[in-house]
Amino acid sequence: MLTNDFYNLLLNEKWNWRKWNGPKQYEDKGSKSLMMLPSDMALVQDKAFKKHVERYAKDNDAFFKDFAAVIEKLFELGVPFNEGTEKWVFKATTD
């Protein structure tokens, strides 16, 4: 199931560097059962990206709308469609 939980975790959890003999990762301070990569944390450390993280954390519908537009563009990239061809539309469900 696709949700905006990722963005809420980035903003609301406390993250520390994981101490281990492996690739650099962050782990949540409380349970130490969640992991984020340095590239994930960059989204909240950079002001330009953080505003999007905050918007998606607050507004699940905005996240779905933008995600659907991007995934549609990705799936159709370089594929010529005839005018009038049926398109797939990705919509959020309440299940």
**CATH number of the structural domain spanning residue 33:** 1.10.420.10
Could you tell me if residue 40 is inside a domain?
A: yes
Which segment of 35-44, 54-63, 65-74 scores lowest on mean pLDDT? Answer: 65-74
CA distance 66 to 15: 27
- Give the domain range for residue 30: 5-76
For 24-38, the pLDDT digits (tens) are 999 999 999 999 999
Structure-token match 């699940």, residue found: 60
Share of the chain above pLDDT 70, in %: 89
Q: Which secondary-structure segment (H or E) carries 56? A: helix 47-58
**In sequence order, what are the residues at sequence separation of 6 or more whose Cβ sits closer than 8 angstroms to the Cβ of residue 87?**
72, 81
Instruction: With cut-offs at 50, 70 and 90, classify the pLDDT of residue 81.
Output: confident
